[in-house]
Amino acid sequence: MTAPDCPENTRTEWPTLGVAAICYAGFALTTMYSQALGPALSGVLLVLVLTLYSSLSHEVLHGHPFRDARLNTALVFPALGLFIPYLRFRDTHLAHHHDPNLTDPYDDPETNFVDPVVWAEWTPLRQAVYRANNTLLGRMLIGPAISTGAFYLADLRAALRGDRAVLRAWLFHLGGLVPVGLWWVLVADMALWVYVAAAWASLSVLKIRTFLEHRAHERARCRSVIIEDRGVLAFLFLNNNLHAVHHACPQLAWYRLGGFYRARRAAFLERNGGYAYRSYWQIARLFLFRSKDPVPHVLWHQGNRTAPGPTLRDGRQSARG
């Protein structure tokens, strides 16, 4: 099946600007009135806000809401999520969108699959940890530590090698922490530990989305999932649960994905080989305590690389993997 004819976006994307307004207003209100709301309620609300802000950052790197990339980057300059540098997220995610490399243990920055040869060299303890990470509960509990730890280590090594793009991205990130710090000193009424915990918990929520976005399959177009969820999580993820649609039309704005998919539902399900689920609730029932896939890539003998490369042994992960 050929790729769909993806429509052009409108010139002014007001819904995306509305999401940005929700994020910044939610950040301001939850941190200003934390004492009145209580740490538990304000923290939970902030988790939702920061999850949405990460999804907004994903929209921005794909060219929304403005045509000018500089304006888009400025829109998410404040590093509200604390842990992930936006420019590194942008670079690794755009590399991930080279669909022929999806799930490649070396060339897909967001893969959770491992070369079987490398897997065989790991200790039983490390294998057990990664097996747990392949359940939904494990991905939410330990997934953020695994992915950010590997990501930070890889970026540190790149910086020590003199990679200027990585250095610039981290300097940009430190600059984005300045307005957050100033807000904290001058305005915020939330305990710092609550904010840090909420930022970390938002990474766990995002792991629900990325948990089974891609599967091992011979055809690249059959590797991306469709989750027909239309609830709160679908909004927090800005419809990126329709992931096969997003990969087919990566420039299509989030608020147009649903209608575009529903008008072509049968075609998309045929195109991705029927890799679909009804909702995140169904996924939780199936995989909360059970792995969906083995950690070693089951089709890697059919891959395009004949020998292990240098990066996987470091547990390379992207900013969101």
Is the predicted pLDDT of residue 313 greater than 50, yes or no?
no
DSSP lists the bridge partners of residue 277 as: 227
Confidence bin at 12 (pLDDT 50/70/90):
confident
Residue 190's region, left for phi above 0, alpha for psi from -120 to 50, else beta, is beta
* AA letter at 18: G
Domain spans of the chain, in order of start = 14-213
| Mean pLDDT calculated for residue range 37-59 | 97
Tokens linked to 201: 């918990």
pTM above 0.85, yes or no: yes
Q: Considering only residues 30 and 305, tell me which one the structure prediction assigns the higher pLDDT.
A: 30
Alpha-carbon gap, residue 222 to 52, rounded angstroms: 27
| Mean pLDDT calculated for residue range 2-6 | 71
Tokens linked to 289: 């305590």
Q: Is 112 exposed, middle or buried (0-12, 13-18, 19+ CB in 10 A)?
A: buried
Alpha-carbon gap, residue 59 to 240, rounded angstroms: 10
pLDDT for the residue numbered 4: 75
| Mean pLDDT calculated for residue range 202-226 | 96
**pLDDT > 90: percent of the chain:** 88
Mean of the per-residue pLDDT values for the chain?
A: 92
Whether a cis peptide bond, with omega within 30° of 0, leads into 65 is yes
Tens digit of each residue's pLDDT (9 = 90 or more) over 126-148:
999 999 999 999 999 999 999 99
Query: Which helix (H) or strand (E) is 84 found in, with range?
Result: none
What are φ and ψ of residue 227, in 5° steps? Answer: -115, 115
pLDDT for the residue numbered 306: 38
pLDDT for the residue numbered 282: 97
pLDDT for the residue numbered 1: 53
Alpha-carbon gap, residue 130 to 222, rounded angstroms: 24
Tens digit of each residue's pLDDT (9 = 90 or more) over 276-310:
999 999 999 999 999 999 999 988 864 444 333 33
